[in-house]
A and B are shown apart, each in its own frame.
Chain A
Amino acid sequence: NAGVTQTPKFRILKIGQSMTLQCAQDMNHNYMYWYRQDPGMGLKLIYYSVGAGITDKGEVPNGYNVSRSTTEDFPLRLELAAPSQTSVYFCASSYASGGARETQYFGPGTRLLVL
């Protein structure tokens, strides 16, 4: 299986434009996440989802929206892009049942430049 896939790999946006970053997983994971990584820093959580139709904010949600209509897909929407959203975006997924947690797997990332 492909694991976690993300598209596009790289994108340049102009200030004020909008776009959707795509994320899909084929591991039947119920939990999915979006993180961003700024240069020289660790990753920070933007949004997460514990199942289809259920999403919630992470540490840095401003300027982003998400939806989860299927188990497999978790797109991230940027509205009115700003230079502060220049970053690398990682999608991740994991399986959880009851109190048990498993390894979180990461996609290859989308590099976004807002000019």
Chain B
Amino acid sequence: GIQVEQSPPDLILQEGANSTLRCNFSDSVNNLQWFHQNPWGQLINLFYIPSGTKQNGRLSATTVATERYSLLYISSSQTTDSGVYFCAVDGNAGGTSYGKLTFGQGTILTVHP
């Protein structure tokens, strides 16, 4: 099956700093989503981005499908950005994938005041 690797595994920032999280995947994809899992365990949709660039406030994401990677940018980080960031892909290995997501291991982000 498709492999998803996220880096870095851990990231510690001071409030106000910028950061870039990376997601590499091993095959072509139908779908790629970024999630934020907050300290209470809730999974929050950030982006649905199988290709191209999207922005939402201080967050933006870029997926370069031909090179099989996606980047999540967080600018002017806040303590509420702390948590785990997951990349998940719906792989397309020549057949119908039915939207089944394969998750990376996540990046644990800690933002200090």
A90 at the interface (CB under 8 A from B): yes
Contact B41 A88 (CB under 8 A): yes
| Number of interface residues, chain B, beta carbon within 8 A | 23
- Give the contacting residue for A48; candidates B4, B43, B100, B105; CB below 8 A: B100
Contact A104 B99 (CB under 8 A): yes
SS class of chain B's interface: helix, strand, loop or mixed? strand
B66 at the interface (CB under 8 A from A): no
| Chain B residues, Cβ within 8 Å of A111 | 41
B69 at the interface (CB under 8 A from A): no
Contact A43 B42 (CB under 8 A): no
| Chain A residues, Cβ within 8 Å of B1 | 59
Contact B90 A101 (CB under 8 A): yes
State the CA gap A109–B105 with chains docked (Å). Answer: 18
B28 at the interface (CB under 8 A from A): no
23 A-B pairs in the complex with CB atoms less than 8 angstroms apart: A31-B98, A35-B101, A41-B106, A43-B88, A44-B103, A45-B100, A45-B102, A48-B99, A48-B100, A56-B98, A90-B43, A94-B99, A103-B48, A104-B33, A104-B45, A104-B88, A104-B99, A106-B35, A106-B43, A106-B45, A109-B42, A109-B43, A111-B41
Contact B45 A105 (CB under 8 A): yes
B72–chain A nearest beta-carbon distance, Å: 15
